[in-house]
Amino acid sequence: MLPNAWPPTETDHVPVLADEVRELLAVQPGETVVDATFGAGGHSTLLAADLRGEGKLIAIDRDPTVRPYFERFRQRAGVQARLLRGEFSIALRQLAANGVRADAILLDLGVSSMQVDRPERGFSYAVDAPLDMRMDPSAERTAADLVNELDERELEQIFKRYGEERYARQIARAIGRRRGEQPFERTSELVETIKAAIPAPARFGDGHPAKRVFQALRIAVNDELGALEEALPAAVEMLRPGGRLAVISFHSLEDRLVKRFVRELERGCTCPPDFPICVCGNTPVLRSIVRKAVRPGADELAHNPRAGSARLRVAVKV
């Protein structure tokens, strides 16, 4: 067992499933590690410690505000470290195309605490702020743009697909009526519109009534599922034989995507079941280290309730 990493120290970020990531990725001195979602550097700090002064860590993040966090990490890490600023699927593809190989790759999906806790970024439904939600502030479209410009049917589909929102149609219609009078600019305006659109009992149900719509808009603004679909094959290409891929997801859409991807590459042969012999020639590429997604324990949840929906899947390249 690795030394217990909970509670975290010397970092502003609470890394989710920290002990589990360290144990299952099993980083060794001299290896090359890629933290494809650096954030405030919580996981990178722990993984760099396992390199014990020998090895390399490549950090990737699309958010320009991570720079000071990375500089602090680099000064303390004790290993070679570099930061690539950009969307992780693009960065992983470029690294793979340039022949860079890794022994361990981590993707910690979703929005980071440093983004949620900065009201001006517009990710939180709990604080009034500009309706933004861009992980990369230089990206073209904000959440306000989507809410004000997409037709009601498109909004309904986004809320259903990415938020699994039961009242997607009612909310989309209420948005259409509200923006006809005045465009949305603030998170509070959207929250109030959502509350008014749903039945009274639903306002006091499981979680905040705007939670699923905000999640859906964030995923759409940042094309999170599209990026993940492109990143997974690039990550596998980068891995050396025996290399490990770990993915932390925070909602069922991401987790199902990761689960299907890993199972497809575990299967190998794609011939119909009635074929007497394999003619496709495909062999397994990945092997799951854990068969079921790993969830946070009671101690972690007591310290970090935000970890409640986290799921970790880890596979090794064969």
Are the C-beta atoms of residues 34 and 108 closer than 8 Å to each other? no
Cα separation, 269 vs 283, whole angstroms:
6
pLDDT at 114: 65
Domains in the chain with CATH codes: 18-114+224-317 (3.40.50.150), 119-222 (1.10.150.170)
Are the C-beta atoms of residues 286 and 235 closer than 8 Å to each other? no
Model confidence at 10: pLDDT above 50? no
Report residue 13's pLDDT band, with 50, 70 and 90 as the boundaries.
Answer: low
Which of 248, 289, 281, 284 lies closest to 268, judged by CA? 284
Are the C-beta atoms of residues 293 and 260 closer than 8 Å to each other? no
Return the percentage of the chain with pLDDT > 70, whole number. 94
5-9, 189-193, 249-253: which is most confident: 189-193
Are the C-beta atoms of residues 82 and 58 closer than 8 Å to each other? yes
- Please state the pTM of the whole predicted model: 0.89
| Tens-digit pLDDT profile for residues 145-187 | 999 999 999 999 999 999 999 999 999 999 999 999 999 999 9
Kind of pairing, strands 102-108 and 32-35?
parallel
Across 186-204, b (16+ Cβ under 10 Å) vs e yields: ebbbbbebbbebbeeeeee
Instruction: Tell me what the mean pLDDT of segment 201-220 comes to.
Output: 89
- Residue found under tokens 């925070």: 250
Cα separation, 11 vs 69, whole angstroms:
9
pLDDT at 276: 83
Dig out the tokens for 249 from the structure.
Answer: 């997801």
User: What is the number of H-type helices and E-type strands within the chain?
Assistant: 13, 7
| Tens-digit pLDDT profile for residues 77-110 | 999 999 999 999 999 999 999 999 999 999 999 7
Model confidence at 9: pLDDT above 60? no
- Residue found under tokens 């001299």: 30
**What value does the mean pLDDT of the chain take?**
92
Model confidence at 269: pLDDT above 50? yes
Instruction: Tell me what the mean pLDDT of segment 185-197 comes to.
Output: 97
Cα separation, 299 vs 14, whole angstroms:
13
Model confidence at 111: pLDDT above 90? no
pLDDT at 55: 96
Neighbours of 71 (CB within 10 A): 13
Give Cα 143 distance to the centre of its chain.
18
Cα separation, 162 vs 232, whole angstroms:
19
Cα separation, 274 vs 23, whole angstroms:
41
Report residue 122's pLDDT band, with 50, 70 and 90 as the boundaries.
Answer: confident
Model confidence at 220: pLDDT above 80? yes
Dig out the tokens for 51 from the structure.
Answer: 């390199």
Are the C-beta atoms of residues 10 and 18 closer than 8 Å to each other? no
Model confidence at 8: pLDDT above 60? no
Which of 148, 171, 282, 162 lies closest to 218, judged by CA? 162
Neighbours of 21 (CB within 10 A): 25
Return the percentage of the chain with pLDDT > 90, whole number. 81
| Tens-digit pLDDT profile for residues 24-72 | 999 999 999 999 999 999 999 999 999 999 999 999 999 999 999 999 9
Report residue 278's pLDDT band, with 50, 70 and 90 as the boundaries.
Answer: confident
Model confidence at 272: pLDDT above 90? no
Cα separation, 19 vs 26, whole angstroms:
11
Report residue 2's pLDDT band, with 50, 70 and 90 as the boundaries.
Answer: very low
